[in-house]
Amino acid sequence: MTFGWQCGINRSGTEACASYSGHCFVESEIGEVLKDLWIKSKECGFEISYALTPRTLHCGLYGDSAFTIAPNGDLYKCWEHVGDEQHLMGKINSDGDVSEITFAYFDWMSRNPLTSEKCKKCSYLPTCGGGCGSISFENEKTYHAEGCHRIIGVIEKQINLQFEKQLKRNA
């Protein structure tokens, strides 16, 4: 049996998360930290792929059925938005169904990084998918701007590891 894992990158971008900001890696460090984790995980027998995959959008929370659920049944896309009414996507009703879908859901789900001039010109776009919608909203008050995040340093480390792997194969 093979096991795999995926690392999520959390930020201290909200008031609720600000208390741990001193424990977060700075953006220039995250690629190296993940590289070390990938290597160690592979040594421990985990199935690790460094391959870059094309992404239309950066985050899995752009999936139709991917939500962050608050204890009261309110639905948000990003955990950073829980409790912030402007980002409320809908609710889970007493029957367990999604109800009261809001405009924020359609706004979030219609994000297209090709509407950003910066994203259109960026060589990382095919793998970053325009970055983080939460960062986009934090910086520009819209989900539809670029949301550059620690991903660039991560992509660079993935490229380096893929290149090293290929060199070993060819040796």
CA 23 to chain centroid: 19
- Asked whether 31 and 150 are in contact (CB, 8 A), the reply is yes
Angle of helix 27-43 relative to helix 151-170, nearest 10 degrees? 40
How far is residue 42's CA from residue 47's CA, in Å, rounded to a whole number?
6
pLDDT value of residue 8: 57
Under 8 Å CB-to-CB from 96, ≥6 apart: which residues?
Answer: none
How far is residue 145's CA from residue 108's CA, in Å, rounded to a whole number?
11
What does each of the 171 residues of the chain score in pLDDT, given as a tens digit? 344 445 556 666 666 666 666 767 666 677 777 777 777 877 888 777 666 665 666 677 777 778 888 999 999 998 888 889 999 999 998 898 889 999 999 999 998 888 889 988 988 888 778 888 888 898 899 999 888 876 677 778 878 888 887 888 887
- Asked whether 126 and 55 are in contact (CB, 8 A), the reply is yes
pLDDT value of residue 15: 65
- For residue 71, give the DSSP letter: T
